[in-house]
Amino acid sequence: MKIRYGLQARYLSLVIVALLVALLALVASLQRQLSLQRDVIELTRESIQALVLERQREQATAIGSSTAEALINPLYNFDLEIIGRIVSDVLSQPDVQYATVFDPQGAVIHDGSDAIASYGQVMSDPLAAKIIGEQELLLQHEGDVVDVSAPILLGDERLGGVRIGYSLASARRYEVAATRALEERLNDISRRYFFGVAGLLVLAIVLGIIVSIIMQRVLVRPIRRLADAAQEIEAGNLSVNLPGRDNKDEIGELIRAFERMTEGIARRDRDIRRIANTDSLTGLANRRAFRESLDAHVALGRKSAFAVVLADIDDFKPVNDSWGHDVGDQLLCRFAERFREVVNADGEIVTEPARLGGDEFILLVKTAPGVDVPLRQLLTRLADRLIEDFRRPTTIDGRNFQFSASFGIAVFPDDGVTASQLMKASDLAMYEAKRAGKHRYAFHARDA
């Protein structure tokens, strides 16, 4: 009996072929999607890892520098109590594994513990060899620890150094959790998508193209945009704009979560920069911020003159010795307030006050726009007002204190053409004022 290959058989054959083609297409599409998903997850993981590590290194550098500056005066006076307080504050910060202050030979001065069990022991760990004797901030990485060390310098004299170890364990956990969450989300979306397509295999030939287009628009393209945004963030651009944040699906949730993460990183970056450039006690700009501004004025100051005024509180150490550092800190804050009020009260000048450290304050002064008065004349008026204002006593905890400060003035470019020359000239002028009897000011003597 001859079997007839009729229209029905042909139709069934076509359906079977169509279903097989659709199934093969579905399998091929699934393999492609899984491969793309792995690539996206790996790229996102690498981007997050690099970003978190870079932010951790930036935070370590900023806090290492500010801690070294804060330790200059306590280490110079060998005040273990203040040193211990500063080290304890550092240890209380998130992810800090250890903090050690050491002398120029590498012997431990303070490790943040009450008993200072390691006092006097020379650091002998693998990273210590490069740290001892280093004259600049050093950042090293070993395993899951970022070690930042900074020398503690008083002028050209090296008093010792401080090293801080940051654990990357929480960053690693965050990286693993973020990657796992992304992988689970992508797996969930992929499963739902392909289960839906599998249930419609009869229409797979037609719907495969439509679904492929939808897949490209709702999943692949947003994920690629997220990967591109992660690369932008890694490069330092925190103002990326991602379309699709208003979507109500899982991709929309993922985009909004990514944006929240970016905003958090941006806030942390701003906080780090603010901490790195602000004196924590007085709220004024710190030495680093002032030096950057002074360098910028020197680079652009060839067309106009400006001046540096260095202020040093007279006989401040006896206040700390007699009344304690809390009263001394209040006195420094009160001095900073009065200093800022006086220098900002004159509309003929533009000023940038800062605290260098200890009882030293500094001021950058330039003529306000539209003012046609010689700069030295304006500086003389300002110095007279400062001397007069600091004659008024101030009250702290019910006790009256009489301010006394000496001021040294150096003018650009007459007294120096570099930031270092200007600061040195103002320092020499300030000591000249002290030798002349204190509580007065002096211009730098160019023929001295």
Matching residue, tokens 């079997």:
3
pLDDT less than 70: residues of the chain:
1-15, 18-19, 22, 49, 52, 56, 193-194, 197-198, 200-208, 211-212, 214-223, 226-227, 229-230, 232-252, 254, 258, 266, 269, 271, 274, 301-303, 446-448
The predicted pLDDT at position 11 comes to 47
How many whole angstroms separate alpha carbon 98 and alpha carbon 88? 10
Domain boundary among 226, 254, 275: 275
Domain boundary among 147, 167, 187: 167
The predicted pLDDT at position 232 comes to 67
Identify the domain containing residue 18 by its residue range.
8-50+179-275
User: What string of DSSP letters covers 209-238?
Assistant: HHHHHHHIIIIIHHHHHHHHHHHHHHTT--
- Kindly state whether residue 65 falls inside one of the protein's structural domains: no
Q: Are residues 264 and 296 in the same domain?
A: no
Are 385 and 342 within 8 A, CB to CB? yes
Q: Are residues 429 and 337 in the same domain?
A: yes
Q: Are residues 302 and 429 in the same domain?
A: yes
Q: Are residues 433 and 332 in the same domain?
A: yes
The predicted pLDDT at position 431 comes to 93
Q: What is the pLDDT of residues 23-82, one digit of tens each?
A: 777 778 777 777 877 777 777 777 776 776 777 678 778 888 888 888 889 888 888 889
- Kindly state whether residue 116 falls inside one of the protein's structural domains: yes
Q: Are residues 229 and 318 in the same domain?
A: no
Count of structural domains, the chain: 3
The predicted pLDDT at position 319 comes to 81
Q: Which two tokens stand for residue 230?
A: 């992660």
The predicted pLDDT at position 6 comes to 45
Q: What pTM was computed for the model?
A: 0.45
Are 83 and 74 within 8 A, CB to CB? yes
Domain boundary among 144, 167, 190: 167
The predicted pLDDT at position 218 comes to 63
Find the CATH number of the domain harbouring 117: 3.30.450.20
How many whole angstroms separate alpha carbon 166 and alpha carbon 238? 24
Find the CATH number of the domain harbouring 343: 3.30.70.270
Q: Are residues 24 and 146 in the same domain?
A: no
Q: Are residues 371 and 248 in the same domain?
A: no
**Alpha carbon separation from 447 to 302, 349, 379, 443, 444 (Å, rounded):** 22, 27, 20, 12, 9
Matching residue, tokens 């719907």:
207
Specify the pairing of strand 405-412 against strand 441-443: parallel
Q: Are residues 146 and 187 in the same domain?
A: no
- Kindly state whether residue 347 falls inside one of the protein's structural domains: yes
User: What string of DSSP letters covers 66-135?
Assistant: HHHHHTHHHHHTT-HHHHHHHHHHHHTSTTEEEEEEE-TTSBEEE-SSSS-TTTTPBP-STTHHHHTT--
Q: Are residues 42 and 183 in the same domain?
A: yes
Q: Which residues partner with 147 through β-bridges?
A: 140, 165
